[in-house]
Structure 1
Amino acid sequence: MSSLQQTLSARIQAVTGIDPELRPATKPQFGHFQSNVALRLAKQEGKPPREVASAIIDRLELADIAEPPELAGPGFINLRLKAETLASAASEQLVDDRVGVAQTDDPKVVVIDYSAPNVAKQMHVGHLRSTIIGDSLNRVLTVLGHTVIPQNHIGDWGTQFGLLVEEILAEGIDPMALDLVSAEDLYRRASERFKTDEEFARLARKRVVLLQSGDEKTLAIWRQLIEISKAAFNAVYARLGVRLNDDHLAGESSYNDDLAKVVQELENNGTAVIDQGALCVFVEGFNAPMIIRKSDGGYGYSTTDLAAIRHRVQDLHADRIIYVVGAEQSFHFDQVFAVATKAGFLPPGVSAEHVRYGLVLGEGGKRLRTREGGTMKLVDLLDAAEEKAAPAVALAAIKYADLSSGLNKDYVFDIDRMVATTGNTGPYLQYAHARTHQVLRKAEAEGIALPEKITVLDEPAEQALALLLPRLGEVVEEVAQTLQPHRLCGYLHDVAVAYSTFYEQCPVLRSEGDVRASRLALCLATQRVLATGLDLLGIQAPDRM
């Protein structure tokens, strides 16, 4: 709710005693906001709704910010802000670089777990959403003044490395001669040999033990595989324009030394108990216990995730932990959070949230795959998009489609629709931004100075745009609270549509005097709002298209 809407609501509630549930008007002729508060009060008071509405209007004190309220229909109250009120609020977007996005009064340390590719494997379409969503949440929370610590929980530990290292030794390969594609091919060969060659399988299992016990020869090859993978991951991150680097790596291996400590703590405080030879934690509401230590003494993903939470709270001092992971992992994270709470790893005042997201689908609503039926590699997806549009536009298309659909929903990767500069797409927002620059460039070329504030808002299209612009800050705060970036996407699309209507109905440079100055200021304010909003989505805001 914008500050103007909040002010109106507060004044109506002061008269009625209840929330007026103020809503944006459905049509310009109904003003800017509407309330059905009189209809609800009429039922309580046993009076005609129009009579109740009229009594409310008589008592309202809004003359400083709004036109006289209007009684409509069966008892609706229509409210129209004064043009000067709108102009003043919209002009706030021109005051400083923050464009109405205020710093929080309660800054937190926020840890965001996202991306998480596997070492020695190429990133695939399954990593797209986690990386894009996590990056946007990082940007939103950072701009509000929170301290954001990204954690890239890469898969860099486990039995697969026994196979990889043993295959490298068997083939006499120099690990540093590999790239990620050839490393992935190597793993396929190792997997096939593991199934058919008993001696290789025995050596691979032994190699896992050597890795876990710190054998230097094995560790050296393992480190080289990580370096190869990091280079490939960073190339993809640079191409995606996301804020992830080597400082944010916190793979499974980084918690290896903590696993025994976590298990000991859980045993000592009675959280974990032995059940059928395994160490387990039983939590009410779950039909199966979490296995903390297997009967053979090994640890699983759940133990690593508990160690991660413990580290993030105790060492990183997190107030809020966010996991951007697919919806299919919902049960796992619900259980991990419940066990962490029971164990005291998640103390009161520290929250853990799982940002669930759906799948990226191909034609026919099926999982997006290659023509051969394999998993679509992320670089191939980006290449396909760039065959349809310039890199910045293609990336805007992909990111906006991903963020605007609502995280829990699956969405179809239809690149022809996504790169269109019409409709609800990323390129459409980029085009709107470029259009504002076009007007401002022409004004500069004609020697017209850019004004510092909006003063005249006589046309409905001007007012509709001016009404939207001050809402950026509230929308950004809403995304920070709900972790739903599609709300920012929807707002920016509304701004772009309103600007298009304004552009078509209200000549800027062909107008004169205060009208021209005010419309130029409105263009500048729109440009700043779109640029800021697009940046928070991780999308470039081009000056020309």
Structure 2
Amino acid sequence: MDMFINKITKTISEKFEENGYDSEYGKVNVSNRPDLCQFQCNGALAAAKKYKKAPVAIATEIVESLKSVDIFESLSIAGPGFINITVKDSFLVQYINSMKEDEKCGGSTEEAPKTIVVDYGGANVAKPLHVGHLRSAIIGESIKRTAKFLGHNVIGDVHLGDWGLQMGMVITEVKRRNPELPYFDDNFTGEYPKEAPFTIDALEQIYPHASKLAKSDEAIMEEAKQATLELQNGRRGYVALWKHILNVSVTDLKRNYAALNVDFDLWKGESDAQPYIPDMVKYLKDNNYAYESEGALVVDVSKEDDKFEVPPFLVLKSDGSSLYGTTDLATIIQRTQDFSPNEIIYLADKRQSLHFEQLFRCAKKSNILPENTELDFIGFGTMNGKDGKPFKTREGGVMRLQDLIEIIKSAVREKVVQSDSVSEDQVEETARKIGAAALKYGDLSNQATKDYIFDIERFSSFEGNTGPYILYTVVRIKSILSKCVEISSKEGISITGPYSDAERDLMLQLVKFNEYINVSFKDKAPHKICEYIYDLSNTFSRFYSSTKIVAEEDINKKTSWVALISLVQKVLELGLDLLGIEAPDKM
């Protein structure tokens, strides 16, 4: 469906054109003075400069032309030439009913869909997910879902860190603990054990110990680097052990991501890009894009008009081993060959912006992807504690993500029990959904690029701009509909009215749905969806408090209201789903 505001814009743009002005001046915006009008067109002021006429004269011409159009309740001119617009209720209700009958509630479908790869995991194997992984996972998931909702072909990739120095650290630490294992015997020619020589709990203890040891002992660090290089060169025992690390880690990662309702289409890692590296390096050398500098292979990506220094892109280290950037560049080649994407979107901490600037410049300069392929980096801010510093455990360490999820789940569990509306066997599942909503909405309602304060008391509140408040609105509507089941169960019921200003306001909020979804994707800004569903929830609450739906005796009004709030529920649930949030039936 076309956006409601676009329908008004189209009508007014036609009148600008009919009167000899460019149609672009007919753009309509939502009024910032709802006490005066619903919408406003300010084009007459801009047109006045081009056509050397008084803006009031132009506005008067347009308003006179619009009097023959049967969708406006009132049109007036304010100030130097603003056109104030109020639409007829019949026009509004017609659009609302179209939304009700549409599977996507008026959400548009892209006429020229793109193929988009979203790289939004970035977890390292052999390490537990921690709070630093939260933002990339849930922001990326929302962007992926919104793009799919609009009709794009979207591939979400976790892009695991499974090939770097941490692998060498883990391998050498396992060797120190269990030197008798066959993975370290160069003379072993049999099949390696099918079962891993460690559990996820042991693995999550092995890495931090190995990392701390390597950082304090230069010889151990060199040993880890050598093991990394041997793994990358295909040493048989190390590759077999690496596969165990990967399998054990990915099983745990999938469980943790599932707790956030985050899902990836691809579970590829840096290792999957390795086969592409030799040809890539040869191509960069043969075409004089890469050169040696202090033994390393680099590509100069600086530009004459740079306002800050952009260092060369490092392709290979002096010992010939690859880096994070090497696999990123090779992954672009892999994705181009596999999917021919129109756009690749990366989610990572904004402090990695220089890396992605170098990567994108190198990819474009070396022509390893088509000129029209977009590369987009969304750098997000940090989640901070109330002290304004990056969120830590009480002991000062980085908190595991599963521990954070459990903390916020516990914070809402007691409220669920106290509500006495949820059966005992549903308490845990309900607390899980509300806790996840509190955590995800608390994050996503902030602009992605900005840091924010993690406030568990505020995020888990059932009041205010929080996930639980939005869920409570949905649950309240479900409760009302269950009391009007004789109407809500009928098919084809229509919305009439509006019968009050509060109901009209609710309709005007509903028709913004399509607009907000499109803006959210265009700006890669899930907080726009949060903003919309919060405003819709508030507008519904005002309507609900002034309207006795269940007790209404006029069957026509009651039927219309049931149809209207059913649409509100559906729109809210669609919005929540685009954020990766599930709504419970009771709370």
Query: TM-score category by the smaller chain?
Result: over 0.9
Alpha-carbon separation, structure 1, partners of 2:447 and 2:312: 32
The TM-score with structure 1 as length reference comes to 0.93
TM alignment of 1:239-278, pairs within 5 A = 239-244=259-264, 248-278=266-296
What residue in structure 2 maps to residue 33 of structure 1? 39
Q: 1:340 to 1:199 in 2, by over 3 A?
A: closer
Deviation at residue 20 of structure 1 after TM alignment: 4.1
Deviations 1:226-282 (A, max 9, x none): 1111121011012111113xx621111111222121111111122112333332211
Deviations 1:389-419 (A, max 9, x none): 1111111111111111111111111011011
Mapped contact 2:162–2:270 kept (Cα < 8 A): yes
Mapped contact 2:462–2:469 kept (Cα < 8 A): yes
Q: 1:63 to 1:458 in 2, by over 3 A?
A: farther
Mapped contact 1:313–1:319 kept (Cα < 8 A): no
Query: Aligned to 2:77, what secondary structure does the other structure show?
Result: strand
Deviation at residue 100 of structure 1 after TM alignment: 1.4
Select which of 517, 524, 529 maps to 1:488: 529
Q: What code does the residue aligned with 1:71 have?
A: I
Mapped contact 2:159–2:269 kept (Cα < 8 A): yes
What residue in structure 2 maps to residue 366 of structure 1? 389
Alpha-carbon separation, structure 2, partners of 1:96 and 1:51: 41
What residue in structure 2 maps to residue 190 of structure 1? 210
Alpha-carbon separation, structure 2, partners of 1:444 and 1:159: 61
What residue in structure 2 maps to residue 344 of structure 1? 367
Deviation at residue 46 of structure 1 after TM alignment: 7.3
Alpha-carbon separation, structure 2, partners of 1:348 and 1:128: 33
Deviation at residue 480 of structure 1 after TM alignment: 2.5
What residue in structure 1 maps to residue 408 of structure 2? 385
Deviation at residue 225 of structure 1 after TM alignment: 1.2
Mapped contact 1:122–1:181 kept (Cα < 8 A): no
Query: Aligned to 2:116, what secondary structure does the other structure show?
Result: strand
Deviation at residue 527 of structure 1 after TM alignment: 0.9
Q: What code does the residue aligned with 1:243 have?
A: D
TM alignment of 1:275-354, pairs within 5 A = 275-283=293-301, 284=303, 285=306, 286-354=309-377
1:237 aligned to 2:257?
yes
Deviations 1:484-533 (A, max 9, x none): 11111111112111111111122223331322221111111111111111
What residue in structure 1 maps to residue 422 of structure 2? none
1:225 aligned to 2:256?
no
Q: 1:263 to 1:381 in 2, by over 3 A?
A: same
Q: Identity, % of aligned pairs?
A: 36
Deviation at residue 156 of structure 1 after TM alignment: 0.9
Query: Aligned to 1:67, what secondary structure does the other structure show?
Result: strand
What residue in structure 1 maps to residue 15 of structure 2? 15
Alpha-carbon separation, structure 1, partners of 2:358 and 2:223: 35
Query: Aligned to 2:440, what secondary structure does the other structure show?
Result: helix
Q: What code does the residue aligned with 1:523 have?
A: I
What residue in structure 1 maps to residue 562 of structure 2? 520
Q: 1:45 to 1:199 in 2, by over 3 A?
A: closer
1:442 aligned to 2:442?
no
Q: What code does the residue aligned with 2:580 have?
A: G
Select which of 227, 231, 236 maps to 1:216: 236
Greater CA drift, 293-302 or 375-384? 293-302
Greater CA drift, 364-373 or 56-65? 56-65
Alpha-carbon separation, structure 2, partners of 1:416 and 1:140: 29
Deviation at residue 469 of structure 1 after TM alignment: 1.6
Mapped contact 2:260–2:436 kept (Cα < 8 A): yes
Mapped contact 1:2–1:470 kept (Cα < 8 A): no
Q: 1:290 to 1:525 in 2, by over 3 A?
A: same
Deviations 1:150-202 (A, max 9, x none): 11111111232223222212212888353333213222333454467777556
What residue in structure 2 maps to residue 76 of structure 1? 82
Alpha-carbon separation, structure 2, partners of 1:446 and 1:77: 41
Greater CA drift, 271-280 or 223-232? 271-280
Query: Aligned to 1:30, what secondary structure does the other structure show?
Result: coil
Alpha-carbon separation, structure 1, partners of 2:339 and 2:80: 57
Greater CA drift, 416-425 or 352-361? 416-425
Alpha-carbon separation, structure 1, partners of 2:219 and 2:357: 41
Q: 1:45 to 1:310 in 2, by over 3 A?
A: closer
Which has the higher relative contact order, 1 or 2, with Cα contacts under 8 A spaced 6 or more apart? 1
Figure out how many residues of one structure are paired with residues of the other and give that number. 543
Select which of 49, 70, 80 maps to 1:64: 70
Q: 1:66 to 1:447 in 2, by over 3 A?
A: closer
Q: 1:208 to 1:180 in 2, by over 3 A?
A: same
Q: 1:154 to 1:447 in 2, by over 3 A?
A: closer
Deviations 1:76-103 (A, max 9, x none): 3221111111111111222132221232
Deviation at residue 38 of structure 1 after TM alignment: 4.2
What residue in structure 2 maps to residue 506 of structure 1? 547
Mapped contact 1:451–1:520 kept (Cα < 8 A): no
Alpha-carbon separation, structure 2, partners of 1:193 and 1:79: 70
1:104 aligned to 2:110?
yes
Greater CA drift, 465-474 or 302-311? 465-474
What residue in structure 2 maps to residue 468 of structure 1? 509
Q: 1:506 to 1:43 in 2, by over 3 A?
A: farther
Deviation at residue 287 of structure 1 after TM alignment: 3.3
Alpha-carbon separation, structure 2, partners of 1:544 and 1:518: 24
Greater CA drift, 255-264 or 521-530? 255-264
The TM-score with structure 2 as length reference comes to 0.87
Deviation at residue 306 of structure 1 after TM alignment: 0.7
Question: RMSD of aligned C-alpha atoms?
Answer: 2.5
Select which of 122, 125, 132 maps to 1:116: 122
Alpha-carbon separation, structure 2, partners of 1:204 and 1:288: 27
Q: What code does the residue aligned with 2:262 have?
A: V
What residue in structure 2 maps to residue 4 of structure 1? 4
Greater CA drift, 289-298 or 8-17? 8-17
Greater CA drift, 304-313 or 103-112? 103-112
The answer for unaligned runs of 5 or more in structure 2 is 182-194, 413-430
Q: 1:44 to 1:203 in 2, by over 3 A?
A: closer
Deviation at residue 50 of structure 1 after TM alignment: 5.0
Deviation at residue 430 of structure 1 after TM alignment: 0.9
Alpha-carbon separation, structure 1, partners of 2:479 and 2:11: 41
Alpha-carbon separation, structure 2, partners of 1:299 and 1:141: 33
Alpha-carbon separation, structure 2, partners of 1:248 and 1:232: 16
Q: What code does the residue aligned with 2:101 have?
A: V
